[in-house]
Chain A
Amino acid sequence: MKLRKEVIDLLAAGVINQEIAERIEQYYQSKASPSQNRLVIIFGILGAILVGLGIVLILTYNWDQLSRLSKTIVAFIPLVIGQAVCGYTLLKQSDSVTWREGSSAFLVLAIGGCLFLVSYIYNISGSIESLLLAWTLLALPVIYVMRSSVTSLLYLIGITWYACEAGYWGSETDENYNYWGLLLLAIPHYLLLCKKDGESSFTAFHHWFIPLSVIISLGTLAEESEELMFIAYMSLFGLLYQIGNIPFLAELKIRNNGYLVFGSVGSAVLLLILSFDGFWEQLRRNDFGENSWLTTPESIAAIMLTLSAIALLIKRQQKQKWKTIKPVDLVFMVFIGIFVIGMQSNAAAVLVNLLLLIMGVLTIREGVRQDHFGIVNYGLLILTTLIICRFFDTDIHAVLKGLLFVLVGFGFFFTNYRMAKNRNKKSQGPTDLMHKA
């Protein structure tokens, strides 16, 4: 409405003619349609989920009075309805994203509902992980048959939950690598989505869900040599950072690039945790003399992730002739050196602090270079958090601590002020020139 008024004003003032005014309106109308579609899809999915929950509640009314057979039949009703709606969608509405996503979301929840209700009706023994495995495997074909991205996202949540049950929470925890196979099965849909619909919201959600799922699940590999998981995690963050810099993803806005954010923030958080001496003290007490730790899942994961991150880094930098390499790119490799030093020496914590300091300063420099407030403040945040962390294990006088905080606060203010001022100067530059002319 505001735009329409502006166009009318410009037309009345003679700045634009009738033809241009119509073209502007047409352009914005065509641009508005995807967001409206997005709303229809979102409400379609939410509607399907609410209808599903409503059906379950209605069917389970007077649940206690039902016989075992009746309860079992009730458990299957939402599943059959979901399948029927998906069948209708496939036959009559296959081009409608709203129908495909809504019916698929309903079906996926109905599968889980049916499995859990049957298990509940019969008090079937065993852990929740076998039910989750069955649920995710039965939901997997829905992704491909219905071409449903919501199902893919629900599937990613499901397999992450399964990995946690199998690897962290379950009492029957054992070596379990099923998660990695399940993750691979979802990747073809993700790649297809990136290729066909690279800028859609669904793709952006996948850019967040996939790295997050991997970050959560990597820890399930930890067994005897848990300390090595720190190398594995640091290399994972290095790898995610490299993936986030692949041209296709690097072109995206930062808020749509989960790889880059997780890679960078993950590295910083892990370094902050390791900037305390406690971990390194524990590491020095460990006996890594035998070679058997080389074959543990933790070291295999660490080696594979490090090599993958290095390979991506080399590939990316070869194309750009090593001109754009950022020191942050190398953090995961530097960390391995620090880890090796930390096995013998107490200098590791100091080196991690130094690394964080460099990382913070270089991030601020990068932010200033790009004229990006977010990156500058992220760098400042790294430095501030580092200082706060050091307050815990360093005996500094309270006045000095206060002064340091004042300095950091002043640093925040001054940097942002300078950047804002520079930006204003740049934006005023051409206008001044026009006035002078």
Chain B
Amino acid sequence: MQKEKSTEIKAAKQLKAVMAQYFVELGEAARTGNKKIAWCSSVGPAELAIAAGFLVYFPENHAAILGANRSAMDYIPIANAHGYSPDICSYLTSDIGAYLKGETPLTQAFGLERVPKPDIVLYNTNQCRDVYDWMNFYAREYNVPIAGINTPRDQPEVRDDVVEACTAQLKEIVPVLESISGKAFDVDRFREVLACSLECSNLWEETLDMARHIPSPATFFDHCIHMGPAVVLRGRKTAVDYYKLLLQEMKDRVEAGIAAVEGERHRFYWDGMPIWGKLRSLSNLFRELKCSVVASSYCNSWVFSEFDPSDPFKSMARAYASIFIGQDDNFKERYIAQKKVDFAIDGIIYHDSKTCPNNTNTHYGLPERLKQRLNIPYLIINADLNDLRCYSEEQTRTNIEAFVEQLEEVS
């Protein structure tokens, strides 16, 4: 067997260029007014806005940047002081705190004077109620319309009547978009955008699935970085081009035997949110321990296989109602059990995220049930997506090291 080497992912350079282009375009639109801007929750109806000629900006992506560069810790307390509890989504409190302080990392990174002002805000409650309250804050602040879809969560199944209701709500957004853009909505353009988003989704899924190879060519931590275009540029050709490039590189890495973690000894599944401010240190820790976190519920949340351009509204309603986070624990158990098999997982890391109960699956006995059912050990890390006040470096390190020691002892 060829000797494994751990190397950086080359596509990262193109990723930076693609993301820069995205933000510069938004900045240009905000400055000149040449295009209308929609703000959208990350799993919201972005394709509809793109089809109506809007550029789409995602506050959640902005919040993840605040988490990753840890400036979230300067902004969360500001939002807390303004009545947004430390117990609610720290994406929301980071982002609103930054807004209240009048700062954004987009200034230094891409030369944007400020976050591009919205003409409308869009949401989908498929993830949580927080996105709705978050978008409502901006609708009030900027005095712009808010429109969205109220998808139920904890669903035992995605029922047809739910899909019908979501479809109707999607259709109700169209005249609101038309009133702002001043143009008639072109359903054929919507089909094209949805087809493009589906292609992006398929390529992203295939990219994630390359981690089934042993050793894996990329980790969850790499995926968290490279998922940017699947979130903010889905529905646009740029994202499709980017994932063709990234997928090819993954194939090349597999072919060449390049491992994300040199000497990969264990393969883990990550459930829950990333801990953005600790992405690098956690990645390094797992690498030191020769463990590869190869799959996650989180990165797969931007896979929308049910998009069907021939039935755009209904298929979009169904796809967005079908995301992992919106289903009940029985679904989630089946989902993770399948990933265990597909990715040859030998341990599950659950992130119990203090401010994200909707994307935390440790509160109703799921880890213990899966342990019994799959005979798979697990570890719960108590932390948070952005609020590092909820994170203990030493506790986390000891927990992870001890978990790996335990696996080594048994194996």
User: Are chains A and B native binding partners rather than an unrelated pairing?
Assistant: no
